[in-house]
Amino acid sequence: MITIKDKTFVPFLEPAKLEKRIIELADQLDKNYQDKNPLFIVVLKGAFLFAAELFKHIQIPCEVTFVRLSSYQNMESSGRVKQIIGLEEDVQDRHVVIVEDIVDTGLTMAQLTAQLSQKGAASVEIATLLHKPDALREDVNIRYLGFEIENRFVVGFGLDYEEQGRNLAGVFVLSEATEPERRTAQSDKATK
């Protein structure tokens, strides 16, 4: 159990389990992009640890670049995607793989994949460490998925709570004991 600011988190995905799955994803990418020289676009800030581990195991020739997008305010998606640092590389006729930490609402990925397709990418795929299908509001195709998780707030391995916790080696989930207001709000909605 750890405390970050005013919230308590408990272990969820251990480092060894993360590493095993990331190696499997790297193997899939190596097979599918053999002789294609893909461009990997890492979404900052959250995906930096996932990307670092992934690229340790990718053996094919490839290029890596970074973009910074944001749709979060505190612990919830704002519903608006704000591009902070844009893409400088030409993606025309390139096979592109977006490397993301977590896909929940799908808003960020839908906007980024659409932009890359408009710029002439030969293909655009998503590789994400985590996915919350229950939070999805925009349909996105995730070809390379680490773990599907419940719609709960997680930190660690690049994911943050108010910019804290990114450096944790594993993934931690918000403790049930600190979520009573969330459960109460959900119960109120169910009874109305």
Q: Which residues are catalytic?
A: 104
132, 150 contact by CB (below 8 A): yes
Measured CA to CA, the distance from residue 4 to residue 155 in angstroms comes to: 9
Q: Give SS3 for 96.
A: strand
Query: Which residues lie below 8 Å from residue 45, measured CB to CB, with a gap of 6+?
Result: 68, 158, 160, 166
| Chain position carrying tokens 């900052």 | 44
Measured CA to CA, the distance from residue 177 to residue 22 in angstroms comes to: 30
Integer-rounded Cα radius of gyration of the chain: 17
Measured CA to CA, the distance from residue 40 to residue 37 in angstroms comes to: 9
Q: Which residues are 144's β-sheet partners?
A: 127
46, 66 contact by CB (below 8 A): no
